[in-house]
A and B are shown apart, each in its own frame.
Chain A
Amino acid sequence: MNTRLATLAVALLAGVCVAAVASARPQANAPLTIYAAASLTDVFRSFDSAQNYSFGASNALETQIRNGAPADVYASAAPLNTQRLHRAGLVEKPVTFTANRLALIVPRSNPAGIRSIYDLRSKPVKLVVAGPAVPVGGYTLTVLRKMGLSSVLSKVVSRESDVRAVTGKIALGQGDAGFVYVTDARAVSDQVTVVRVPAWAQPRVRYEIAVVSRSSNKAAAQAFITSVLSARGQTALKNAGFLAIPKAPA
């Protein structure tokens, strides 16, 4: 019986060692771990379903990467987060890969009767926004400031942790109005009505993507980024409602 136990133990140990070695070596076709902004959920999944995704608020993902999360690629909805990680040496040089616009959404039933952004000022409304550290939350503050409507923030009833939570609350009719990206509004177009944010008040929304420095699969990570920047990737983004990579200002 002792020899049987010993054999079992050796076999187990050997198996563990092989598995460890196998996982440590980067494999050409192993799926990448991609940390991406919540608004990219549908478009990234349909663009490349073979990868492992973790979608969430860009700032929460930034904190996770800072604390050692095993990501290979990081895609953020605001340059602030990627640039901060780049300055800390945690990601390689980020590159802009798409842009977006903000929209105000209201539930289909429109309980507060909001037909324009200015109605937020004049009518009682349960306004749902993302927290200020979340990219879309910061962009919302910019929109309201550019329109001279920051007083509307007194009607906020909840500061959500990411844009999908805002979309969810409005789609379920819990809130009367919420600020999201136009791309998120498309995903729930049957449950919400879109109120346009005028172009002159839109913030400069830039999505950036970068290879994570401690990735063990950098070649594949870079290949993923290249495919996102390629014609196929850009078409997928455009079809989902994202904007083309903006030209740099003169």
Chain B
Amino acid sequence: MSLPDGEATASESAVWIAGAFCSSTASGVALAGIHVRDAKAATENDLAYANFGLATSYLVADFYSRSLEAAKLEASTRPALRRGRAAATLHARELTALLTGAGDTPATAEDFTFEWPVPTFATAASIRRTGTAVLRASLGAYQQAAATLTEPTYRVLFASLSASVAQQVGTFTTAGAPAEPFPLALDLETASAALEAFLG
């Protein structure tokens, strides 16, 4: 959709800023990860969020890849999509390290076969809709984790992940759409149910 010149530049800058934020968040997460890997006091509930987050990160990365392939969104969004995919991959790596450090056997990308409904990548509107839904569900879970997990370093990590995902939501909302004032935290049961259609 074409925008007047002034707003186009503004949205472009927004995308750049978002991208910059994403990369710095990613490196921040990497730093936080060093502490997370040492954490051993995590409860089972903590690790449940990590397992969910890991699967969701693979899901999001897959979604970005397919969105790029489908090439239905504006060309200007492509850098944001690529950076989103990079962020998701880094999230997955970080959560894998967390789970391994806690003695669990984390899943790998090959363990998942994601079931996207056929019309998902057919139109730009459908991609935006699905992207928003998926990111909002994962954001909700990360928010809940950031607020309630017992292990403090995990909370820091999930707060980072929440911030990163919240910025990515912007990629899929149209320029005129208002930002959500209070995105909802979702417990694992709700988030898992919301993503069941895609995650399986």
Contact = CB atoms under 8 A, between A and B. Distances in A.
6 contacts: A148-B45, A148-B47, A148-B188, A199-B199, A204-B105, A250-B109
A204 B108 CA distance: 10
Contact of B110 (A150, A202, A249): A249
B200 A148 contact: no
A207 to B, nearest CB: 15
A198 B200 contact: yes
B44 A145 contact: yes
A204 B52 CA distance: 15
A200 B56 CA distance: 8
Contact of B112 (A147, A149, A199): A199
B36 interface: no
Give the dominant DSSP class at A's interface: loop
A130 B199 CA distance: 27
On chain A, which size bracket covers the interface? 20 to 34
Given A200-B51, A200-B107, 20 more contacts: A116-B193, A118-B189, A145-B44, A146-B47, A146-B51, A147-B51, A148-B45, A148-B46, A148-B49, A148-B188, A150-B44, A198-B199, A198-B200, A199-B200, A200-B52, A200-B56, A204-B105, A204-B111, A249-B108, A249-B111
Contacts of A149: 48
Interface string A189-205: 00000001011111010
Given A200-B54, A246-B111, A249-B108, A146 B199 contact: no
Interface string A100-124: 0000000000000000101000000
Interface of A: 116, 118, 145-150, 196, 198-202, 204, 246-250
A21 B111 CA distance: 50
Nearest to A147: B48
B196 interface: yes
Most A-side CB within 10 Å, residue of B55, B109, B193: B55
Contact of A148 (B44, B110, B193, B196): B44
B55 A199 contact: yes
